[in-house]
Structure 1
Amino acid sequence: MGWYEHELEWPTAGGPPPALVTGMRFDALDAPAEAGFAMLSRFSRPDLLGPVALDGHRVRLLVAAGTAEELPGLLEWLQWGGIELDLRALGAGQTLRAPAHPEWDRREAAYDRSAPVWLRPPRPGFDVESTVPALRVAREADETGVPVGLTVLVAALATACHRVALRARCPDQPWAFSYASRMVAGTRPRSLTS
């Protein structure tokens, strides 16, 4: 796994298989794969979201270091506080399983079909801090190439997690989550500009 240490300069721990240490260069948002795929499909330029890994039935989105500490307050500010979401952040002192190099043939990992893989791999030569969402007010990425802001990402991911949970509880119920329906329900998120 020299690719992580030498090319990307990411700290690793343990092994084999090695793990990526969170809280130093990046944190990771951990959500159900169904919610992660739904959230990824919402953005017109998902390549600006930063690296994304799939580990079993979980999606791990790399975000700015310090996000793990900010996530509870951010969810509260977005008015998701008190709602059970299957969304957590991996931060300082935690690790996530390291996916194989994105160019390695999948059969090299055939011994372990549950091995994590990159959905959107990191790009060598790009500083990770400049490619992951950070806490700032930002709209969806524009032509400047600025990553989507953490606030927008967490709002979309929380909504996707909530939809997955509701569908699991009531599979025959059609669900709509427009801005207007959240206003009527009294769970309208605050404006991202206030």
Structure 2
Amino acid sequence: MSPIVPSPRAPQRADTSALVPSGRGSAPDAGTLREAGGTQHAESAAPAVERWYEAVRRWYEDGLGWETDRGRPPALPTGVRFDVLELPAAAGRAVLRRFGRTGPVAVAQGRMLLLVAAGSAEELPALLDWLEWGGIALDLVGIGAGGRITAPAPHGAPGPCQPGAAFWLRPPEPPRGTDLFLPALAGFGSRGGDAPDLVRLVDMAATECHRVRLRRSRVRPPADRPPNQPLACS
């Protein structure tokens, strides 16, 4: 039997009243969120959505010390506090079943986002080569310096309902000092091995991405065969 993925751990301040841990501003109330979700006219919903986005930005900046941009929705730059390994959600779920201890994990648009130590994305191609995954199409992407991801809604706080909206599966916790304890190479971005091992995580992610690709290739008919043509039997 496969091990069960641990339930997502809520941050220490997971309730919606603490969207802004510093006390500056407050979380949007239920009425505001319903309005933002489209139950009112578009002209009245727009300010509510903007208030929600501003609350999200303050939650990240004041509560976690993470930089955000002014986009709609807000985005988190990569390569500053963390990098991201992006892979198909099906592969990511398998990784989480096998790799219990990770950094924060988010899901968006059918993709899983694993937060890893800053600088890891740059190391990914060489690391895959070293693990003998080089040259294989894996659909495993590293997002590092100069990149960004959509900021998932704070864990436990309802937000405007949008298809494919990013959300935290394993949310970040308020930092203890400057440490995020993200998966990292030994001696790189970690304190004497405190962080989860990046090499094991990448190897497992590559394995699961390859398995997903193989499964998909088995259920798709060849491009040069008409959909209704029966398969040849030996």
With the length of structure 1 as denominator, give the TM-score of the two structures.
0.77
Q: Percent identity?
A: 50
Q: Is the 8 A contact 2:181 2:196 kept in 1?
A: no
Q: Deviations over 1:142-163 (max 9, x none)?
A: xxx9332000000000000000
Pair 1:155-2:211 in alignment: no
Work out which of the residue numbers 91, 94, 98 in structure 2 matches 1:35: 91
Aligned pair partner of 1:96 in 126, 134, 149: 149
Unmatched 5+ stretches in structure 1: 138-144, 173-194
Q: Does 1:75 align with 2:123?
A: no
What CA distance in whole angstroms lies between the structure 1 residues aligned with 2:90 and 2:178? Answer: 25
CA deviation vs aligned residue, 1:47-67 (integer Å, no higher than 9, x gap): x30100000110000000001
Distance 1:129 1:94 in 2: 21
Stretch of structure 1 that moved more, 9-18 or 158-167: 9-18
Matched residue type, 2:104: P
Alignment map for 1:38-187 (pairs within 5 Å): 38-43=94-99, 46=100, 48-105=101-158, 108-110=159-161, 112-126=162-176, 129-136=179-186, 146-171=194-219
Q: Which has the larger radius of gyration?
A: 2
TM superposition shift of 1:73 = 0.2
Unaligned 5+ runs, structure 2 = 1-56, 188-192, 221-234
Q: How many equivalent pairs are there?
A: 159
**In the superposition, relative to structure 1, how do residues 80 and 127 fare at CA in structure 2: closer, same or farther (>3 Å)?**
farther
Residue 192 of structure 1 corresponds to which residue in structure 2?
Answer: none
Partner SS state of residue 131, structure 1: coil
**CA displacement 1:71-115 (0-9 Å, x = unmatched):** 00000000000111100111000100000010202xx222x1321
**1:130 Cα offset (Å):** 3.6
Cα pair distance change 1:127/1:109, threshold 3 Å: farther
| Matching residue's letter, 1:156 | M
Kindly report the root-mean-square deviation, in angstroms, between the aligned alpha carbons of the 2 structures: 1.8
Task: Name which of structure 1's ranges 68-77 and 5-14 shifts more when overlaid on structure 2.
Answer: 5-14
TM-superposition CA deviations, 1:16-53 (whole Å, max 9, x none): 2000000011000000000000110002xx2x301000
Q: Does structure 1 conserve the Cα–Cα contact (< 8 Å) formed by 2:105 and 2:169?
A: yes
SS at match of 2:98: coil
Following the alignment from structure 1 to structure 2, what is the Cα–Cα distance between the partners of residues 52 and 3?
A: 17
TM-score normalised to structure 2 length: 0.64
User: What amino acid does structure 2 have at the position aligned with 1:152?
Assistant: R
